[in-house]
Amino acid sequence: MILLDEKGTTEILVEVSKMLTPIFLSISIVLTLWVEHRNKKRAKEAKDDTNTVAEALVNTDTKTTKKLDTIHTLVNSGMGIQLRISSAALRRIADLTGKDADVAIADEAERLTKEHENKQRHLDIEIKKRKERENAA
């Protein structure tokens, strides 16, 4: 026990400090371990949340791609039909009139129709491959 009349104030503070240092060190260690545990827990929760968001994005992307493929196929099919109708009509006009300008327009319409059909064929192949990859996964 420390008596005031035996030691000076500075010496008393040194003695108290020596007694409290292990206590403060223990509290510091406990707090550090608690903060580390809390941070690991939060990191795991953040990782889980990130994985959930990533899965949702993949699902949304897949659904959007399927919808876009369907819409694109429908629009391009309609465009192909319209191009074939226009090509046939323009070719008949060219055959009736025999004018060079009408023949040139009919030739261009037929070229555009073939070009569109080739692009659509390649796109259909890509869509089919993508669906096969999705089904395999």
Query: 3-state SS string over the chain?
Result: CCCCCCCCHHHHHHHHHHHHHHHHHHHHHHHHHHHHHHHHHHHHHHHHHHHHHHHHHHHHHHHHHHHHHHHHHHHHHHHHHHHHHHHHHHHHHHHHHCCHHHHHHHHHHHHHHHHHHHHHHHHHHHHHHHHHHHHHC
The whole model's pTM is what?
A: 0.52
Tens digit of pLDDT at every position of the chain (137 positions): 455 555 566 776 677 778 888 888 888 888 888 889 998 998 888 888 888 888 888 778 778 888 888 888 888 888 989 999 999 999 999 999 999 999 999 999 999 999 999 998 898 888 888 888 888 87
